[in-house]
Amino acid sequence: MEIIRGIENINSIDGPTAVTIGVFDGVHIGHQTIIKMAVDFAKMTDGKSIVITFEPHPLAVVHPESTPPTLTATDLKADYIEKLGPDYMLVIPFTFEIANMAAEKFVDYVLIEKLHATYVVVGEDFSFGKGRRGNIKFLNDYGGPKGVKIIAIPHIKKDNIVISSTEVRERLKRGDIAGVKELTGRYPISRGKVVHGFGRGGSSIGIPTANVEVLYNELLPKAGVYVGHALLDNERLPCVIDVGISPTFGDVAKPEIHVHILSFKRDIYGKRIDVEFIDRLRDEKTFSRIDELKRQIEVDIQQAKEVLAGKP
Q: Give the pLDDT of residue 247.
A: 54
DSSP string spanning 162-227?
A: E--HHHHHHHHHTT-HHHHHHHHSS--EEEEEEE----HIIIIIS---EEEEESS-PPPPPSEEEE
Q: Where in the chain is the domain with CATH 2.40.30.30?
A: 187-309
Q: What is the mean pLDDT of the chain?
A: 92
Report the CATH fold assignment for 2-162. Rossmann fold (3.40.50)
Q: pLDDT by residue (tens digit) across 75-130?
A: 999 999 999 999 999 999 999 999 999 999 999 999 999 999 999 999 999 988 88
Q: Where in the chain is the domain with CATH 3.40.50.620?
A: 2-162
In this predicted structure, the answer to whether residue 197 has a pLDDT above a threshold of 90 is: no
CA dihedral 40, 44, 47, 50 (to 10 degrees): -20
Report the CATH fold assignment for 187-309. Elongation Factor Tu (Ef-tu); domain 3 (2.40.30)
Position with higher pLDDT, 201 vs 191? 191
Task: Give residue 265's pLDDT band: very low, low, confident or very high (50, 70, 90).
Answer: confident
Q: pLDDT by residue (tens digit) across 120-152?
A: 999 999 988 888 888 999 999 999 999 999 999
Q: Give the pLDDT of residue 198.
A: 57
Please give the C-alpha separations between residue 153 and each of 47, 178, 187, in angstroms, as whole numbers.
20, 26, 25
Count CA within 13 A, CB hemisphere, residue 99.
Answer: 12
In this predicted structure, the answer to whether residue 227 has a pLDDT above a threshold of 70 is: yes
In this prediction, residues 250-258 reach a mean pLDDT of: 71
Q: How far is CA 30 from the centre of its chain?
A: 13
Q: pLDDT by residue (tens digit) across 268-311?
A: 999 999 999 999 999 988 887 888 888 999 999 999 999 999 87
